[in-house]
Amino acid sequence: MNKKTYIAMVPSPGLSHLIPQVEFAKQLLQQHNEFIVTFIIPTLCPLTPSMQQVLNTLPPNIEFIVLPQVKHLPEINLEPATQMKLIVKHSIPFLQEEVKSLISKTNLVSLIFGLFSTDAHEVAKQFNLSSYLFYASGALSLSFFLTLPNLDDSVSSEAEFLESAYETVNIPGCVIPFHIKDIPEIILCERSNVNYKIFLEVCQKLTLVDGFIISTFTDLEPDVIRVLQEKEKPCVYPVGPIIRNESNCEDNINSMCLRWLENQPPNSVLYVCFGSGGTVSHEQLNELAFGLELSGKKFLWVVRVPSKDVNSAYFVGAKDDPLEYLPNGFLERNKENGLVVPSWAPQVEILGHGSIGGFLSHCGWGSTLETVVNGVPVIAWPLFAEQRMNARLLTDVLKVAVRPKVDDESGIVKREEVAKCVKRIMEGDESLEIQKRIKELSDGAAVATSEHGSSRKALSSLALKLHNF
């Protein structure tokens, strides 16, 4: 009889969902080696090289199973969140078979799944397993998503829903109201829209789980965490910050970036990156380029092929050379002041380098945690999903970021505004205040994950629950 306790994890599709759940599994097993974890991965298409690399380098006590590819989705032009939900939904028969097989061979006790894998809860229920939502973003957005079903019930028409329900929203545990512009676009669709209906279904299932495992920590979101923990169910486990210790390195780019950074003064370089799937339009790419040049500050910029679709690189990368889309002469003029790399850079190592003095970020939660842990001031440039909520948290609640103003006529951030924001976080009194505040958060993150810290205690409490189910 195998004495190990087994847990199955079902991440939401996509690299940016797989990585934090893998890092959580590593953290759990590092501190509680009596568990074995099996990842069961829903797919629409073959795994990307980056995802394959993550899976191929898992430690021995983490196994993985890739489910058969879903043949097709019923509609085209779906939001990424909707695509992810439907991929998992159509993978449920495959998931059932794998869970049944694991139960026959192991002491499987629980399913832990991502936000867009909530259909896995039904499988957990079917096989009498405990179920936990691993929430890879912050407590703030989770608190809002938990209120969405009630907000949806409170209005009687689509027009009323769009015009009044979200003029401002008070999120439980947050000290400031959120405006309509801060809310994920998928929620602002008409209620008959398939993307909205499917996301509402996700939110309606949230309270069915046994617990929320959240990649945050008490000092970062104290009031929201307190409000979530006051509810009798589900239990809340703030176990973060959960971030990578190292990037999945592409050696040539890795060494090139770090070599260049070694030759720059301390706190002198702005790192510019829009996450694993974010893109901007060609017009915005040009304005950003000219703005970086105008600022006179050093920069390391990860450039992607521009697109009017802000998440065009989420599932599939572009084949063109991104550098071809930069303004004429930009690379030559800035060869002494900046380093531009196509598509990917070793973000973990870059943000931890002493020459980095600022981060122009899309405010995905993984990047948010990495910049907090490393104590790097932020220019908040959200693109999609809950990133605008994260940006508002960074700028108006935590006050460790500045946010560029969008031009009313063109709908883009002009070069002068880019340059202004770069200077705001990298020179002057405002910069010093921001640096002081984010250093305090960085210290708080270190304390939370220390031996007697709040996140370590939360993880131990979760491990005990998993054992005793």
Domain that holds residue 77: 5-141+196-240+449-468
Write the CA distances from 329 to 83, 120, 361, 430, 431, integer angstroms.
40, 52, 25, 33, 31
- The answer to whether residue 454 is domain-embedded is yes
Residue 80 lies in a domain: yes
Asked if 264 and 229 sit in the same domain, the reply is no
Q: Are residues 438 and 357 in the same domain?
A: yes
Same domain, 438 and 453: no
Tokens of 287: 């304005």
Helix (H) or strand (E) holding 131: strand 130-135
Are 282 and 389 members of one domain? yes
Q: Do the domain assignments include residue 174? A: no
Same domain, 263 and 359: yes
Does 401 share its domain with 460? no
- The Cα 309–Cα 391 span in angstroms is 20
Based on the domain organization, do 424 and 302 belong to the same domain?
A: yes
358 and 394 co-located in one domain: yes
350 shares a domain with 261? yes
pLDDT tens digits in sequence order for the chain, 469 residues long? 457 899 999 999 988 899 999 999 999 999 999 999 999 999 999 998 889 999 999 999 999 999 999 988 877 678 889 999 999 999 999 999 999 999 999 999 999 999 999 999 999 999 999 999 999 999 999 999 999 888 766 654 455 555 554 578 889 999 899 888 888 988 877 778 899 999 999 999 999 999 999 999 999 999 999 999 999 889 999 999 999 988 866 677 788 999 999 999 999 999 999 987 789 999 999 999 999 999 999 999 999 999 877 655 444 455 689 999 999 999 999 999 999 999 889 999 999 999 999 999 999 999 999 999 999 999 999 999 899 999 999 999 999 999 999 999 999 999 999 999 999 999 999 999 999 999 999 999 999 999 999 999 999 999 999 988 7
Q: Report the alpha-carbon angle 239-243-249, nearest 5.
A: 160
In a domain, 97, yes or no: yes
Indicate whether 305 and 215 sit together in one domain. Answer: no
For residue 104, being part of any structural domain is answered with: yes
| pTM, two decimal places | 0.93
Query: Contact 371/359 with Cβ under 8 angstroms?
Result: yes
Count of the separate structural domains present in the chain: 2
What are 35's strand-pairing partners? Answer: 5
Hey, how many other C-beta atoms are within 10 angstroms of the C-beta on 158?
Answer: 14
264 and 136 belong to one structural domain: no
Q: Are residues 256 and 215 in the same domain?
A: no
Position 155 in a domain: no
Residue 63 φ then ψ, to 5° = -105, 170
Query: 171 lies in a domain?
Result: no
For residue 323, give the CATH number of its domain.
3.40.50.2000
Domain contains 167: no
Q: Reading across the β-sheet that carries 235-238, which strands appear in turn?
A: 62-69, 35-43, 5-10, 108-113, 130-135, 211-214, 235-238
Give the integer Cα–Cα distance in Å for 221 and 225.
6
